Every structure is written in structure tokens, then in C-alpha cells.
Amino acid sequence: MSPTYEIKDVRIIYFSGSGGTERIAKAFEKELTDRGIEVIVKNLGAPLKERMEAHAEQDLLVADLNILIFAVHAADAPKPVYDWIRSTGCAEAGRKIAVISVSGGGDMWPNKGSRNHCIKTLEEKGFEVTYDRMMCMPSNVFIEYNDHLIMRLLNTIPGKVSLITDDLLKGKILRSHFKKGAILNRISESEQKNAGKFARKIRITDACTTCGWCERNCPTSNIKISEITARPEFSDRCVICTRCIYGCPARALRYDGAIILKNGFDLNAVERRMAGVEPDQMEKCCRGLLYKGVKKYLSEKSQ
């Protein structure tokens, strides 16, 4: 397909809680930069102070194309993505936008609906959504992926990103038209409505060193180290990004519920453990119905 418009600069806007989506955003940044495209990256999950400092530069570029990338939360985009859409000015942002959702389970129901509401909100704001699709990363909730599967997913990033970049730079139009339906909409709405209360149930164990990492890294400035108890205190702006729990250097924050993985979520640690190890074949590390979407994703052409 011949290009319908030339892309010289791109703005990547992303939200990542525990770092999986961030790897994909960084892979796009590298791929585009290697191809001579000017890239500006806006991290919607950066700590507030960092976001404020970077704001001017990130919004200066009127990009030929925006790429919005977010971690799927309850078959939808996390709240900071909507906050950005509502606050951004169309003209400053440039109109064309590609939307990429990053899920643990792949392009299956209910994840197929993860871009619906976000795309509708973008269109209401005046954006032209030209492309949308799903990428897959290790799940950071409920189901702990084994190291071999995690490595297969990480290894597949450059190939997938390169193919999508080809599409985007060619100006390919790719739109999914899955309709979410009332039940799924209600589940997503309920998650967004109740997310704020999640952090109130986080237990702070004696391992807490009061280092303040959680306070500094919370994307919604929801955590304050109390001047009285010297312990983290949580307000109601939690978006269940999981960063404080998985990222705490002392692993001092605990949540007593199946949603949080008991052994944590640390992609760097998996890479260290698997250094020099050839990951198992997909059939071996990706068994069972639960992995159907992941298997499909890994089987698609990507290199």
C-alpha cells in the first residue's frame, strides 16, 4: 500500500503500571528513531513532578502521528489514559492516532473490547483513529506466567513492533470493530469506580524501611509517607497500577487477594534468571485454555 501521508514525527503516549507496557513503548521509540523519525515520548505514569517538568517539551511537537499505548485494566484503559484524552488539546496533539492495548491474555474476549471506550472518547475529542490492535505481555494479576513464557513474550517484542511500525509508516488503516456490550461495559466501569479504594487494603509490613520509593513512584501521587508514623499512607486516587506493591525495594507492601501475584512481578529478575537459557517451546510453556490468546499472539508472524 502506498503511503497516504508522510510521517516525519511521532508522539508516543503511554501508561504502564508495572513496566511491561513501558518496554513496548520503548521498543517503538527505538524502532522509529532508528528509522529516522523524530519521536517524543509522554509517560502518563511518570511521577507527577517528572510529568510536570517534561510537560512543555512533550506537548510542543505537533506530531504527524500519535501512538497511544496502555496496559489493559478490566478490559479497558486505565484512568490516567482518560485523564490525558480529556485534558489534551487536539491541535497541540496532532489528530491522527494509533491505539495499542497491552493485555496479559491476548486478543480474546473480553480483551477485544479494551480499546472501545477509549477510541470513542478519542473520536469525541476530534482525534482520527487510524489503527488499533492488541499486543501481549506477561500478566501482572491473578495468573503468574512461567519464566519461559515470559521470555518468549519479551523476545517477540522487537519483531512485532517492527511489523506494526511498517504498517504505521505506510499509513495502513486497521480498525477493529468489536462491540463491547452492556455487561462488559459495566465491569470496566465498576473497576474504574472502585479502583480508588484498592490501596486502602494494602498492608504495610515490618519490612518497610520508610525509604519513600512508593511515594516517589506512584503515578497518581496517592501515597504519602506519614510524618507521624513514618509509614506510607494511601488516599483514594489508586488506579491499581500495582507499581508500589511489585516495585517496593523491600517488598514490604502486601495485598491479601488473588489479584496480586504472590511471588511478585519483576521482568528484570526473570531476564537475569533466564540469561543464557533457551526458552521452552511454546507448546510446553503455554498450556491450557487460559493461554489461548497468548498462544495465538505468539504464533502470529512477528519476526
Ligand X SMILES: Cc1cc2nc3c(=O)[nH]c(=O)nc-3n(C[C@H](O)[C@H](O)[C@H](O)COP(=O)(O)O)c2cc1C
64 or 84, CB closer to ligand X? 84
42 or 95, CB closer to ligand X? 42
Question: Is residue 247 within the footprint of ligand X (CB under 6 A)?
Answer: no
Q: Which three cell numbers stand for residue 160?
A: 512485532
Question: Is residue 245 within the footprint of ligand X (CB under 6 A)?
Answer: no
Query: Shortest Cβ distance from residue 30 to ligand X (Å)?
Result: 17
Question: Is residue 220 within the footprint of ligand X (CB under 6 A)?
Answer: no
Q: Which stretch binds ligand X (CB under 6 A): 69-77, 178-186, 205-213, 282-290?
A: 69-77
Among 99, 240, 244, 245, which residue interacts with ligand X (rule: CB under 6 A)? 240
Q: Which stretch binds ligand X (CB under 6 A): 100-108, 118-126, 208-216, 229-237?
A: 100-108
Among 63, 94, 99, 103, which residue interacts with ligand X (rule: CB under 6 A)? 103
Question: Is residue 75 within the footprint of ligand X (CB under 6 A)?
Answer: yes
Long-range contact list for 156-161, CB < 8 A, 24+ apart? 156/297, 156/298, 156/302, 156/303, 157/23, 157/24, 157/27, 158/27, 158/31, 159/302, 159/303, 160/135, 160/302, 161/24, 161/27, 161/28, 161/31
122 or 150, CB closer to ligand X? 150
Strands (E), the chain: 9-15, 38-43, 65-71, 96-103, 128-136, 203-204, 223-225, 232-234, 253-254
Query: Measured between alpha carbons, how far is residue 104 from residues 138, 150, 249, 290, 295 in Å?
Result: 5, 11, 24, 10, 11
* Sign of the four-CA dihedral 258, 133, 40, 80: negative
Query: Shortest Cβ distance from residue 196 to ligand X (Å)?
Result: 12
Binding mask 16-55 for ligand X (x = CB under 6 A): xxxxxxx---------------------------------
Binding mask 136-155 for ligand X (x = CB under 6 A): -x-xxx--------------
Q: Restricting to residues 175-204, which ones interact with ligand X according to CB under 6 A?
A: none
Fill in the DSSP letter of residue 199.
G
Give the Cα separation of 131 and 108 in Å (integer): 18
64 or 297, CB closer to ligand X? 297
Q: Which of 5, 281, 302 is nearest to 149 (CA)?
A: 281
Give the Cα separation of 283 and 279 in Å (integer): 11
> Is 225:212 a contact under the CB 8 Å cutoff?
yes
Query: Shortest Cβ distance from residue 277 to ligand X (Å)?
Result: 22
Question: Is residue 219 within the footprint of ligand X (CB under 6 A)?
Answer: no
Binding residues for ligand X, rule: CB under 6 A, are 16-22, 71-75, 102-105, 111, 137, 139-141, 240, 242
